[in-house]
Amino acid sequence: MKRFFRILLLLLLASSCKGVDDYPEAESQLVLEGWIDSGGHPMVLLSETVPLRYGEITREELISGIAKWAKVTVSDGERTEVLTGGADSRYFPPYVFTTSKIVGEPGKTYTLRAEYKDYVATATTTIPKPVEPDEVYCRALGDTTYTVVVRFTDPPEKGNYYRAFTKTIGKDGRYQPSMAAYASDEVFDGSAEMILFSTQRLLEPLYMLDFKQGDEVWVKFCTMDKATFNFWSNYEVMLATNANGSWWFDTDMEVNVHGALGYWAGYGVSERKVVIGEQVNP
């Protein structure tokens, strides 16, 4: 498989074309990656797109597109706060807008507005109630390779959507999306399990089964609204399409952001830690 990363790399390389030589260079667009966790604070990354072309896209080119001077506001329906931007090497681009004055609460709706140059981007998301996993453990697939399994019980009411992120101590400074780790209760009832194979890290090849003996892995198991789920499921389809060697990005992909590429997600969060090789179930 080619290179994968969370959302931003493919979005920064976004072009409205399906083949590099088929169309003229697309105009720059604003890229927004934002989320707010239950118990956490809003986190927003903003950049302009870099035109898709043959040859290596450098880290410096991507960083040059950071929208440092943007005005970003978030409202929880009771108060509206202007987010403060600052350098943060845990993320890429390494510049994050945030505030400690707004804390994510299940059941609340959060409205985002980002203004930069001539761009105005808006989005709304809701944080659902978290679902606590029944069990998180690792499953051996060989002498040195493992998956992580999240077992959980879906609430009886319909319309629940799930996504998992992982963070390996000593390797990751932040949570990264686990490949294909998303699910909707439209296709299952009651007890279910989500299998985590690997982590999608920025600008790194994706190694299948990259959980190794002795790794301390934190799992962030999230609930989300339907719009956020639709974005992530479409994003995974896009990754699978690009795995065959073609670079393709559908700028008409369903998103909940108006005026920019990207997403604004509210997550109901449950966190668990698993030590690879110690907590093993069949």
Range of the domain at 211: 3-275
Looking from the CA of 266 toward its CB, the CA atoms found within 13 Å total 27
**255 has a pLDDT exceeding 90:** no
257: tokens are 């952001």
Interval 43-61: pLDDT, tens: 999 998 866 554 555 666 6
- Total number of domains constituting the chain: 1
Interval 72-81: pLDDT, tens: 999 999 999 9
Q: Which amino acid is at 145?
A: T
CA-CA distance, 122 to 246, in Å (whole number)?
Answer: 31
**Average pLDDT score, the chain:** 81
Supply the pLDDT for residue 171.
Answer: 85
The mean pLDDT value for 164-170 works out to 91
Tell me the helices (H) and strands (E) count for the chain, helix number first: 3, 19
Q: Say if 281 falls within a structural domain.
A: no
Supply the pLDDT for residue 130.
Answer: 96
Q: Say if 282 falls within a structural domain.
A: no
Partners of residue 208 on adjacent β-strands: none
Q: Say if 280 falls within a structural domain.
A: no
Task: Tell me which residue of 4, 30, 85 sits closest to 257, measured CA to CA.
Answer: 30
Q: Say if 75 falls within a structural domain.
A: yes
262: tokens are 């990207």
Supply the pLDDT for residue 177.
Answer: 84
Interval 17-47: pLDDT, tens: 344 444 445 578 899 999 999 999 999 999 9
Rg (CA), the chain: 19
